[in-house]
Amino acid sequence: MLNDGFTRITALLKVYRKLYIVIYVISLYKRGNMPEEVMTVVKIPIAEIEETVRAKHVLPKLLVDVRVEEDVLVLCFSDEFKSEEGSQLPNSPVRKRRRTHRRRNRMKTRGWETVARITNSKGQKCTVYKPFVDALRDPKLTAEEQEAAVIRILKSNRNKPSETSVQYFLQNTLEYLHSQAQGSSQ
């Protein structure tokens, strides 16, 4: 037994009437002044709940959905499984689909000097950075060399560029250089 600030966890598993009751006794020994905490967790397999509900009611063959809505457990049964979004069970509220949280792919541009702010051909307001202008200024570069230069610059600033990001910086810089070339020739 450790009395020097570590946690002692003792777990006791007890089966009573097909309910799985897990009692966790957590004793925190932090210089003897932390009280014991007893937490009771009840785990009931969904198959058992389904059996109990089927015994009381005449239900279709398949259990197609299980969810918790506020303080109610909802079991949805159907004769046949339909994977289509549009086929909801009768009297079943339409569930709002939650969006998965996606990490925004924002490029790190710290330390890059801003050359200009332009509106590109797609109507987006964007910033043109000096490293791209310097690398793409040479008109003799092929399209592959231009793309490789943009990827190299993005990776040098610890970015993980996607194809979309590479095209965004490449097109915006080329549009800026093209507008500058037209402006100086007039």
**What's this model's pTM, rounded to 2 decimal places?**
0.46
Instruction: List CB contacts of 13: < 8 A, sequence separation 6 or more.
Output: 20, 21, 22
Same domain, 71 and 124: no
Same domain, 4 and 26: yes
Q: Is residue 93 part of a domain?
A: no
Average pLDDT over residues 108-115: 91
Same domain, 38 and 23: yes
Which stretch of 32-41, 105-114, 148-157 has the lowest confidence by average pLDDT? Answer: 32-41
pLDDT over threshold 50, residue 24: no
Counted residue by residue, the chain has a size of: 186
Helix (H/G/I), strand (E/B), else coil: 153: helix
Q: Is residue 92 part of a domain?
A: no
| Phi then psi dihedrals of residue 54, to 5 deg | -65, -35
Same domain, 173 and 118: yes
Residue type, 162: S
pLDDT over threshold 90, residue 7: no
Structural domain including 17 reads 1-43
Average pLDDT over residues 156-174: 93
Q: Is residue 102 part of a domain?
A: no
Same domain, 39 and 55: no
Same domain, 119 and 66: no
- Distance (Å, whole) CA 93 – CA 16: 35
Same domain, 52 and 36: no
Q: Which two tokens stand for residue 153?
A: 């610059």
Indicate the number of domains in the chain: 3
User: Count of H helices and E strands in the chain?
Assistant: 4, 7
Residue type, 85: E
Same domain, 178 and 130: yes
Helix (H/G/I), strand (E/B), else coil: 180: helix
pLDDT at 32 (0 to 100)? 54
Q: Is residue 108 part of a domain?
A: no
- Distance (Å, whole) CA 59 – CA 172: 61
Q: Is residue 87 part of a domain?
A: no
Q: Is residue 15 part of a domain?
A: yes
Cβ neighbourhood burial of 154 (10 Å; 0-12, 13-18, 19+): buried
Same domain, 76 and 126: no
pLDDT at 65 (0 to 100)? 84
Q: Kindly report the three-state secondary structure assignment for every residue of 2-71.
A: CCEEEEEEEEEEEEECCEEEEEEEEEEEECCCCCCEEEEEEECCHHHHHHHHHHHCCCCCEEEEEEEECC
Same domain, 125 and 66: no
pLDDT over threshold 70, residue 90: no
Helix (H/G/I), strand (E/B), else coil: 105: coil
pLDDT at 145 (0 to 100)? 95
Paired strand residues for 68: 73
